[in-house]
Structure formats: C-alpha cells, structure tokens
Structure 1
Amino acid sequence: MFVDSLVARLAEHPGQRMRFLARDGSTLVKTYAEIHDDARLLMAELRDSGLGAGDLVGVLGPNCYEWILADLALLALGCVPVAIPAENRHDAAEIGALVDRYRLAALLVTRALPGEAGLPAATASLSDRPVKLDPVRHADAPELPPGVRTIAFSSGTAGTQKGLLLTDDGIANTVELSARAWRVTPDDDIAIVMPYSNFQQRYLTYLAIWTGCAATVVPPEIMFQAFKTVEPTIILGPPSFFELLHHRVMAADPAERMERGRGWLSMYGSRVRLMYTGSAPVPPAMVTLFQELGAPLYELYGSTEIGWIAMNVPGLARIGTAGRPVDGITVELGDDGEVVVRAERPQVVGYVYEGVETQDAVFLPDGRIATGDLGVIEDGFLRLTGRKKNVIITRSGVKINPAELEADLERALPGVRAMVALPDGAALLACVVWIEDIEDTARAAEIEAYIKRMNAGREPSHRIATTLVRPAEELTVESGLLTRNFKIDRGAVARAVWGSGDR
C-alpha cells in the first residue's frame, strides 16, 4: 500500500528535512530521520492505547509538526485519519461532540485546549506525550469501501461541504503523476501554505517524502516575508498568492516596471522554478505578466474527487487555459458545457458524513465524474468558463454565466482586487468590485463609467444595474467572504450586501 509506506520511505532520505515556520517567525527543523523515529514512537503510543487498522481517528488543529506526524503515524498503523476542517476551533467542552458526530474511535488535537481537564477519554493532545486515550467503539460507525485510507472535507464539486473518501490508489496516482510532470528531485523544496485539513497540502507532503525532496510549511500571513528566506522551488496556490505582485507591478509607472524587471519576483525567493495556480478563476493578464517577468507561473485544474484533471507544463502551455488533460484522464463536455471526467484511478470513491445526498449527481453510473465546472476545449486545451451552480437564470429564462461578465471587467479594469456578478435581489444583475483604496473616488467613478459603457453594448438581460465598490481589506477568511481555499463565497457576499444568500 502507498500511504502505509510513507514512514518507511522517510528512512530512505534520512538527511532531508522539513521546516515548520510559525507566525512569530520561529522555525522548527526536522530531518527525515527524526520524523521517521518520532512517527515510530507515536505509532507505538497509539497502538498501546488500543488503536489499530480501520479505526477512524480525527486530527484537529492548525498546521504544525504534530499534525503531519499524527497523519503519518495513523496511516502507517492502518488507521483512517479524518482531517477535521481547520475552522472547527473548539474548546475542550466541545470536543466530545466531534467524536460523536464523526463516529471517531479517537481524536488527536495538535495543541492544548482551554479547559483540557475536561477532554473526553477518547481524545488526546499531542502536546502532552506519551499519548494516552481510551478509544470509543461506535456501533453505527460508517462502513468504508475497500481501499479508502483517509477522509477529508471540501466544498466538493457541487459547492457544499462534503466528506470525501480518499483511496490509497488514487492518492498514489496523484503523487506519481505530479512527480513526473514537475520533474521533482531531491534538490526541490515544496512550499505548503494552506491548512493541512485541505487534502492538497497533505498530498504535497507525501510527494516530498516519496521523491526525497524538502518541504517547508509557512503560515499564509507571513508567506511573502518567509519565501525570501526559505527559498522554495515549487509553489502551489490560489490566484490570491500571485495577484499581489500583479497589482504592485500594474500600479508602478512604466519606467519602474522595466527597471525592476525580474526583481519583482524576489518576494517568492530566488530559487522558485515552478509556480502553479488554480482552484479559482485565474486572470490571463496576471499569468501573462508573470511570464513576461520570467516567472514560471502556470495554470492547472483538479478536484479532490478526481486528482489532477488538466495541467500546463513548461514547453506545452497556453495562457487562459487549464492545460491539456493529464495521463489517465478523459475529459468530455456535457450538453450544457459541464466538464465531465472519466478517470482511470480517481482519488475519491464517494462521500461520507456530509454530501451523501449529492453523490449520485457527481459519481455517475457509467463511471464518469461530473465536476460542476463549465468549460470549452480549444486545440486540446481545456478552458474553464465558470461554475454550473453560479449560472444566473433570469425570469425570462435567459441563462447568464457570471464568470464571463467578470472576465470582461477584469480585462478592462486592471488593478481591481476582485469582483463578482450576481443577482441583486430584484431580478437584475449587480456587480460587487473590491479595490485597494476605497477613498479613491475617481477610481470608483472610473469603474462605474466603464460598466455603463459596457451595458450599452449588451442585451438588456446582461446589463449590470447596480455597481457596488467595496474595500479590498474586507476580503478575508475571517470575514467569511473568502473560503478557507481563498475563493470568494458568493453566498456570503449576497448575504453581506442584501442580507440573503438565496437571491
């Protein structure tokens, strides 16, 4: 089995290392030999506590060494780690509810919690070693399909939270495909920024261990300061990871742009050789600018259900597309333009806990998987055009893809942090635009004037009736307007503006 062997794989590259940076700038460095020994010790403690193959064990907490150590030890034991979403921050009195909700045999928290004296018997803090707990056996624990080795949560292809059943073979395929496509070597250092409760960050750690390269875990709040020092070679992230540089360059006068040239890229470190972005609409102008500066930024496309679907690679890339389908993937387009995928080795076999009611609409009877994304295929390259669930249907039955409206605006209004088009609650279209300087009335007037000119050339059903300009600083995960994957939550925007997410 693939994931079971990761701890043993550490011993093959004993001198390699992982680094874990904290928000205060402190750094913990662990060699693969040390991680191997620590994982073996934790395995023994968990085994002595009564945990074994097939047990569902939750892991809860922010990114840290203890999180990935617990994950590796559980996998090697044959347990099934359940990655509790990072936003679930509970005090000790609430932990028991998680054990019951997910029918866990045990729950490991990575940091001491307030009121720790009240921790349930099935729960242990990894800050208190050796680990001691009394597993719970639930008569109604979910029965997992063969090959399932871990459970993660995501928004899923249908847009609501799902519990995803990830298989050993699917995880192995994603790691192997990435290692080949990116030509990962022991000289590489993979940056890990998003929460470990997102499966992509765990898989990147597995990729580092499998290929014998380094990995560096960096909190998103300090990533740009950290990148200059830690010098990663491979960076994956949503467009927001790269938009800051794009905005800075575009705000500079032309002479400064030319003078600084590749120097603009120093915020990502001097060793970066591969940058990938996706998971949200990617402005083509941003990718164009990066490549003009000599940065290796490319688009790719995947989902937790499937793994990688399409990917641009050096020498075979087209800006504005997600790339060509990867090996083992066949992409088809439905009558409505939905991207439907047939995967030889899909990463997920179904849902559990949450989202089960949507499973049949995603995992189709003939083995295909419906992504919920809209797209077109151009000369073998897949270009995504929006989300099926975001299509707006007017009272007269006209279908409007808001992503296309947003793309038009982004091309015409550089420097805007973000924008969304959505119904305004009165069967009309509205556009919410976020800019850096909300006090710049001239900028706001420019945006409104452009939208007015754009409306003149559109059908009445596609005209934007209301334009709202808002401060960019409100776009945070804490405000609820961004998901934990740094995507704009359209429902949250609608509730913030009109008091309802159902408009």
Structure 2
Amino acid sequence: MSVVNQVISGPPKPGNRLSVARLGALESWDLTEVWEMSGRVAGHLLDLGVRPGDRIGVLAANSLEWVLLDLAALRIKAVTAGFDPGKFDSTGAELAARYGLAVLFTDQHETAERVRPITELRGLAPVKAELPTVPWEPGEAPALKFTSGSSGPAKSLLASAGSIDSSLAAVQEIFAHGPGDDLFVFLPLSLLQQRYWVYSALVFGHDLTISTYEAAFATLRTTRPTVVMGVPGFYETVRTHMQAGTARTGAPPADLATEVFGDRIRYLWTGSAPANPATLRYFTEAGLPIFEGYGLNETCIVTKNHPGGHRPGSVGRVLPGKEVLIDADGVIHVRSEHPVATRYEHAEAGDSEKMFRPGGVVRTGDVGHLDEDGYLFVHGRADDVIVLENGKKIVVRRIEERLKTHPAIEDCVVTNPSQRQLVAIVSPSTYPMDTALVAAALQEANAALDHDEQLAKAVLAERFTIDNGLLSSQFKPRRKEIEARYRGLVVDPEEGIRA
C-alpha cells in the first residue's frame, strides 16, 4: 500500500508523538490523538460543503491546526494549497478567488466569504458517522504547491500522490526513520516536503517536532531531536554562532554542537539550495553528519547523500524511481517513474513547455555532471553561466562558493556588467562592514581562480533577507532582483572594493 494511502487507512500505533514548539511554549500529542482530531476536522470540512477535488487553502504559520487540516484534506480527497505568509501578501479573499479555493483558513485577522479563522478547528465535536476511506490513485493530486523561483510570481503545480509515495519510500530506504527518532521541522508547512515528515511519522512510527524558524534555536536543545531538516542558510547561521562561541570561550565545536542541537543528533538534512562545502565539513568534523541532496518542486527529491553513500562535493546518488539525464550543454534533466506533474496550473504562457518535456522528463535548468559511480555534481544554473567577450563560459556558482568560504562574506552574487570583468555583489557577515576583510576575501578567491574567473571588484549590499526581497522563501539569493538593485554600483568605475 502506498504511503499516502497508509496515512488515511486508519490510526497509527500509539506511542509516538507530535510536538509543536513556539517561543516559550511546547505542546505535545500522541499521534493517535492527532489522527482522531484530523477526523473531526474532516467532518467539519464536509459540514462546510467541501467535497472531493475541492481546494482548501491554508495561510498560517506552522501549528497543530495546519497539520490537522492537511490530514483532514487527505482523508476526504480534497486538495491542500499551502500559502507561506512571508511570501504571499494578498488577502485571503484574493487568494481564494485566484486559486479557486472552496475555503481558506488563516491565522490573520480577516473576515470574508470563504475565509475562516484557523482557530475554529480546535475543540471540534467528534464526527457522527465514520469517514469513508477512499484511496488516492498515483496520478491524483493531494496538493497544490508553489514554486520558490528566484524571480517573478510564484508558479503552481498539482503534485501527484505517486510522487509523494515514491519520494518517501526512497528516503525511508536510505535513512530508516523509525522508533527512537524525532524529526525536527521548522520550515513552513506550506512547503509540501515539510509535510512529508508528518506522513512519515504516522506510517513509520517516529516522533515529530514542528517549530518555526523564529523558535528553532530556542527549542532545539530542549526538544533533543535526532534529525533536523534545514536549508543551507540555517546551517550557515548556526555555524557562525558556534564559531563565535569557540572564539569567546575556547569550547570545541563538538561541545557547542550539543549546546545547540541537544545530544541525540543522528544526522542533519539539507537541500533546496547549494550548501557551502566549508559548512558541511564544519558540522561533520563537529560530530554532526550533514547530508546534502538535490531536487526541485517540479521533480521532488532526485538525489541524496546518506550514511554509506556519501561523496563530498556531490548532492548524492540518484534515488529509485528517478533517472538523471545530462544533455549536450551539460543541463540536468530528470525523468520520474511517478512525475510530480506534467504542467503548471498557474504560470506565464510558455513556462510549462520550458520545464516539462514528454515522457515525464523535467528540464531543471541546472548544469552538472554524473561521476563514474553515479554521484551527481551540480555546477550552477544554466542561466547563470556568464559568457565573456573572449567566448569563455564562466559558471558563477563556483566563484560564489569560493567567496562564501571567507568569514567576512555571508552571501554573494557574481555578475558581469560589461562581459569583460566579473563583479561580486556581497552581503557581509557583520555590520558595520569591514572593507579590509572583504578585500582580503577577494584576494584569496582570485589567488585560487583561473584568470578569466577572477573578480575585478566587490560592491557591498545590505544583508540578503526574505523581508527585503533579496532571498526567496527557501533562502536562495534572488539573482535578478539583486543585480537590478545594485546595478548602479556595479557599473560605476569609482565604486567598489578591490583586492
């Protein structure tokens, strides 16, 4: 039976728990209680007129109610549409109309037709009649999910049950989550993959702790998880914090790792954006194995490093049910046994044709190669390959990663205003900015780079954040927005720091 259908087939075995951590508060329930409460929510949705195939929107921070709504939707064959409050600034009424929602639940103060407070889902009465169990077919879609592209409006696609099953089965095979494990999730539940771990807990019998990004640091040590699901930006922040602790107290990284993460970590998971190799080495040497993977919203998880199958510098071996194809230009394509989708639901004209190809193939737009043992190495975006006037093709990700190994630089984007020279737009690690350290970082990078890859200068930017529009919701630099905002400094011959 598929994982999705196991989730809806009946209550899990007792003994495992879901905990929800907020700043200053922690609540916990046995997963059997969560299952029972999701049935009450399912009954409530039916009373509201929601029927199979209808879309249910959620515009709210991570919470128990978020989990209950998603499980309830699965149980009545409705479609969950998750909206990240940090990414969508439209009203609930606008979202309901734009995406064809039967109802939208929100934790924001809003009253409109089809918009309801998410708080109404607690304390519901038991359902009067047993809910029918209607299985999901592999090609049916339980979720409408939104891409986290670095520019432009979010695209949406309907994610198939088959793709969810395939991904969870593959991950379970290599990581064997089970009794004794507690997976720590703090990224928004609007991201479908974060909800995978709810399904995993119910089916494979482990604990799950859900928090928010703001509360993650405060709750990690006390909740003592065995696995942390995070993005590279989070681990960069933790590394900076731990290194500052070592400089201040002399404590070795292994001791500080316990202070931050607790004493039960089995491994750390990262993906969704390129990780800094120095950061991966730092955590591994501190006794915290960290495994990078690769995937897109359009493909789900494609590759993953894992215990017994880990090659530094790679994003892992290809998972069962996936096939990686590299075209003549080095662009990565992915064929899936169970495609996530074959088109976008909401996108600009021509976007679906650029991404989705016949036969369940997705053109990722990333450049990379497979080594002789089947490990995938990603070099950067095809769109981020800069062609200089001498015809030399430069993959800027390698240069950016080199710069980010320096403690003065938190993030950066490399551009070329004239096709003759490269310029780095730098988000410094500390404020006020230490220009001498940034100059030293440029000098060190240039010493290790080929002649055509060397940087003419750096211009200092504000810190890249989601709030100022320079990071996506998955903490990826929004390249086009950054280049546009700082173009004046980039092209000005008098501006910038030189090595």
What range is the shorter-chain TM-score in?
0.7 to 0.9
Aligned letter for 1:96?
A: A
Aligned to 2:357, the other structure's residue is in SS state coil
- Give the match for residue 52 of structure 1: 51
Aligned letter for 1:241?
A: F
- Give the match for residue 20 of structure 1: 20
Aligned to 1:105, the other structure's residue is in SS state strand
- Give the match for residue 325 of structure 2: 332
- Give the match for residue 7 of structure 2: 6
Tell me which of 477, 480, 483 is aligned to 2:469: 480
How far, CA to CA, are the matches of 1:101 and 1:263 in structure 2? 50
How far, CA to CA, are the matches of 2:87 and 2:323 in structure 1? 36
User: Residues 312 and 454 of structure 1: is their aligned pair in 2 closer, same or farther, counting only changes over 3 Å?
Assistant: closer
| 1:340-364 CA-partner distances (Å, limit 9, x unpaired) | 1222123333210225632222221
Report the Cα offset of residue 252 of structure 1. Answer: 7.2
User: Residues 290 and 203 of structure 1: is their aligned pair in 2 closer, same or farther, counting only changes over 3 Å?
Assistant: same
Report the Cα offset of residue 72 of structure 1. Answer: 0.8
Tell me which of 451, 469, 479 is aligned to 1:490: 479
- Give the match for residue 115 of structure 2: 123
1:105 matched to 2:102? The reply is yes
- Give the match for residue 36 of structure 1: 35
How far, CA to CA, are the matches of 2:50 and 2:248 in structure 1? 64
Report the Cα offset of residue 407 of structure 1. Answer: 2.8
- Give the match for residue 78 of structure 1: 77
How far, CA to CA, are the matches of 2:210 and 2:468 in structure 1? 24
Aligned to 1:148, the other structure's residue is in SS state coil
How far, CA to CA, are the matches of 1:432 and 1:156 in structure 2? 20
| 1:439-498 CA-partner distances (Å, limit 9, x unpaired) | 43431332344456568x513xx4423312346xx2321121111111111122123312
How far, CA to CA, are the matches of 1:369 and 1:500 in structure 2? 37
Report the Cα offset of residue 200 of structure 1. Answer: 1.4
Contact in 2 for aligned 1:5/1:76 (Cα 8 Å): no
User: Residues 160 and 405 of structure 1: is their aligned pair in 2 closer, same or farther, counting only changes over 3 Å?
Assistant: farther
Tell me which of 395, 400, 405 is aligned to 1:401: 395
Contact in 2 for aligned 1:157/1:303 (Cα 8 Å): no
Aligned to 2:402, the other structure's residue is in SS state helix
- CA RMSD in angstroms comes to 2.9
> Quick one: percent identity of the two aligned structures?
27
Report the Cα offset of residue 217 of structure 1. Answer: 1.0
User: Residues 438 and 448 of structure 1: is their aligned pair in 2 closer, same or farther, counting only changes over 3 Å?
Assistant: farther
1:24-423 to 2 correspondence within 5 Å?
24-87=23-86, 94-109=91-106, 111-114=107-110, 116=111, 119-120=112-113, 122-128=114-120, 146-155=139-148, 161-248=154-241, 260-266=252-258, 267-355=260-348, 357-379=350-372, 380-394=374-388, 397-411=391-405, 413-414=406-407, 416-423=409-416
- Give the match for residue 494 of structure 2: none
Report the Cα offset of residue 335 of structure 1. Answer: 1.0
Farther-moved stretch of structure 1 (211-220 vs 30-39): 30-39
With normalisation by structure 1, the TM-score equals 0.86
Contact in 2 for aligned 1:338/1:371 (Cα 8 Å): yes
Contact in 1 for aligned 2:18/2:207 (Cα 8 Å): yes
Farther-moved stretch of structure 1 (65-74 vs 376-385): 376-385
- Give the match for residue 138 of structure 1: none
Contact in 2 for aligned 1:7/1:36 (Cα 8 Å): no
Farther-moved stretch of structure 1 (302-311 vs 246-255): 246-255
Aligned letter for 1:476?
A: T
| 1:285-305 CA-partner distances (Å, limit 9, x unpaired) | 222222222211111112222
Contact in 2 for aligned 1:154/1:161 (Cα 8 Å): yes
How far, CA to CA, are the matches of 1:356 and 1:157 in structure 2? 18
How far, CA to CA, are the matches of 1:403 and 1:39 in structure 2? 44
With normalisation by structure 2, the TM-score equals 0.86
How far, CA to CA, are the matches of 1:376 and 1:426 in structure 2? 26
- Give the match for residue 445 of structure 1: 439
| 1:292-337 CA-partner distances (Å, limit 9, x unpaired) | 2221111111222222211111122111111111122221211111
| 1:45-96 CA-partner distances (Å, limit 9, x unpaired) | 11122111111222221111111111110111111112223335568xx332
User: Residues 250 and 19 of structure 1: is their aligned pair in 2 closer, same or farther, counting only changes over 3 Å?
Assistant: closer
Structure 1 unaligned spans of 5+:
132-143
Contact in 2 for aligned 1:405/1:421 (Cα 8 Å): yes
How far, CA to CA, are the matches of 1:210 and 1:278 in structure 2? 23
Contact in 1 for aligned 2:18/2:209 (Cα 8 Å): yes
How far, CA to CA, are the matches of 2:441 and 2:33 in structure 1? 55
Aligned letter for 1:48?
A: D
